[in-house]
Homo-oligomer: A and B are copies of this chain.
Amino acid sequence: MPVIKVEMFSGRSDDKKRALAKAITDSFVEICGGKPTSVHVIFDDVAKSDWAVGGELCSDLYPDQPATAEK
């Protein structure tokens, strides 16, 4: 039954999402019980220009380098 929504900066690959979905699902089942197939993980990619911290857009705080600095 759990629905787990992950809001994060856009740019992560499907492989990273695959690995993260698997890890979150396994952790949930191990800790809280239930069947893996009842665990939904939904990724919401948010552009840095749509996420502000301390009143500043993250696109200003952490501008993307040519090759993305942050994994």
Give the bracket for the number of chain A residues in contact with chain B: 35 or more
Most buried by B among A1, A22, A51: A1
- Please give the count of copies of this chain that the complex contains: 6
Given B20, B23, B56, B70, which contacts A21 in the complex, CB threshold below 8 Å?
B56
Majority DSSP secondary structure for residues of A touching B = mixed
Contacts of A55 in B (CB 8 A): 21-22, 24-26, 36, 39, 41
Q: Which residues of A contact B (CB under 8 A)?
A: 1-9, 12, 14, 16-28, 30-37, 39-46, 49-60, 70-71
5 nearest interchain CB pairs? A33-B71, A21-B52, A25-B55, A23-B27, A2-B8
